[in-house]
Amino acid sequence: MRAMQLITHGSPLELRDLPTPAPDAGEVLVRVATCGLNFGDLLIIKGTYQEKPALPATLGMELAGTVEAVGEGVTHLQPGQRIAAYTGFHGLAEYAAIPANVCVPIPDAMGFEDAAAFLITYGTSHVALDYKAHLRAGERLLVLGASGGVGLTAVELGKVMGAEVIACARGPEKLEICREMGADHLIDSETDDIREIVKSLGGADVIYDPIGGDQFTAALRACNREARILPLGFASGDVPQIPANILLVKNLSVLGLYWGGYAKLRPQVLTDSFAALIDWYVQGKIKPHVSNVLPLGQANDALALLRTRQATGKVVVDCTA
């Protein structure tokens, strides 16, 4: 089978021919149709991600495809079943042997492109806004990095949950996509004063931040009392230091979220979240925005779209092409 592997940190992935794996006990063999790319893949390549695989490693955190075979002890999945999975690795290949307990059956109405763009981005935003921040209808939600993979789903889910959504992104084209996904107010992070605009709108009750840096600082200063702040990542490269006195005076809550950690910490949180999200998808309430689909051999080009922030929403790799 073909697979895109990381051989040394900091280098492009290499397309290699590898033996097709066989599923061990508790695993399934999946014929991979699509693989969704994430910012974490870039961190793995740099060697700075919280999980560091032994090299060489096949990258690709989430995949969608068809179960080809099941290992010993697997009873809830069958060959021919269509699934999506958050695997951490293994997605950029024609086949993957993965734990059966990370596989989520997908409905017939969900195509493989949508399925590969679904679990991590929607899962992250739903757990952040619902389970962690308890976002309520009528509250004001500020989404930083709103045109990115997770940011765009936060805009969309915020509207489904009844919030007034402020989307902050770079440039008019990306902001237009945020508007199409339901944003009520738009802020250009390149030219606008985030703090002043958010305050003029009445302040933020929940802040969703995968960016960090100066944008986090500006958003913090525009919080309402008892606001909840969700640091989800630091795409700016700058991890902000939070002044405790501001948290004290405004009774703010900072709620860190490493979504992938719930697979071991409290897997039922993810199971419940996926059930709600798939139901919303079937009802037509949410729909992934996939800006680019590239073939497996061009995975480095696909990753470059993330690295240079040219993509909006998700970038997906077609592992059959």
pLDDT digits (tens, 9 = 90+) for 134-177: 999 999 999 999 998 899 999 999 999 999 999 999 999 999 99
CA–CA dist 35, 59 (Å, integer)? 10
Q: What pLDDT is stored for residue 205 in this prediction?
A: 98
For the entire predicted model, the pTM comes to 0.87
Residue 125, CA distances (Å) to 115, 154, 195, 277 in order: 16, 5, 23, 10
Taking the domain 121-258, which CATH number applies? Answer: 3.90.180.10
**Around Cβ 51, how many Cβ atoms within 10 Å?**
11
* 226 phi and psi angles, rounded to 5 deg: 65, 20
| The 3-state secondary structure of 19-54, one letter per residue | CCCCCCCCEEEEEEEEEECCHHHHHHHHCCCCCCCC
Coil, helix or strand at residue 236: coil
Residue with tokens 């500006």: 218
Coil, helix or strand at residue 200: helix
Q: What pLDDT is stored for residue 237 in this prediction?
A: 81
pLDDT digits (tens, 9 = 90+) for 233-245: 888 888 888 999 9
- Domain map (residue ranges) of the chain: 2-118+288-318, 121-258
Fold classification of 2-118+288-318 is: Quinone Oxidoreductase; Chain A, domain 1 (3.90.180)
Give the residue-averaged pLDDT of 255-272: 87
* 141 phi and psi angles, rounded to 5 deg: -110, 125
In percent, the amount of the chain with pLDDT more than 70 equals 100
DSSP alpha helix (H) spans, 39-161: 39-46, 112-116, 119-126, 149-160
